[in-house]
Amino acid sequence: MRTGFAAFAGATIADKKVPIYCTQLDNLGNSVHMGHLSTHILDTTRGKPGAGIKLVVERIENGQRSVVSQAVTNDDGRCDKPLLEGSDFVAGEYEIQFAVGSYLKSTAASNHQHSNDAPLFLDTVVIRFGVASADEHYHVPLLISPFAYSTYRGS
């Protein structure tokens, strides 16, 4: 495979820098599948990206957990690079823990919807999922509101 080929590039769309994950090429110019894990967070109450949310990715093997990645979402609710890629991204069981509590408190406070001494309904959202083929792109978005969340396997 070619060395030095960027696995991440940025493009400007409507004055926003968005990630574009590029295809790696072998010595003959053929594309080599580069599986990776990505996410983004959308606040469905406000209709905006979930910015500044910490997340932790754990791999679960034989009942044992190990942290394999950590990130904080940018202003577009995305991470600046894939959560996992290359040899770090293997088939198996994973969990992403989204620390949404601080974000929900700050957005609720700005809307006068939450008392500081009341517990949040959602604080940490945990999504456990399986990766069957590490050659594929696994995109695990999170749609949140103060009282609900959903996810799906995106593209």
pTM for this structure?
A: 0.77
pLDDT score, position 32: 55
Residues 6 or more apart whose CB falls under 8 angstroms from that of 88 comprise 68, 69
Look up residue 59 and give its two tokens: 């791999």
In the chain, the domains with their CATH numbers are 36-151 (2.60.40.180)
> For 62-112, what is each residue's pLDDT tens digit?
999 999 999 999 999 999 999 999 999 999 999 999 999 999 998 875 555
Beta strand ranges found along the chain (DSSP E): 9-13, 16-20, 24-25, 31-32, 36-38, 41-43, 48-49, 54-61, 64-72, 84-85, 92-99, 124-131, 137-139, 142-145, 148-151
> For 35-63, what is each residue's pLDDT tens digit?
999 999 999 999 999 999 999 999 999 99
Report the alpha-carbon distance of residue 40 to residue 138 in Å, rounded. Answer: 12
Q: Could you give the angle at the alpha carbon of 129 between the alpha carbons of 125 and 134, nearest 5°?
A: 130
pLDDT score, position 103: 95
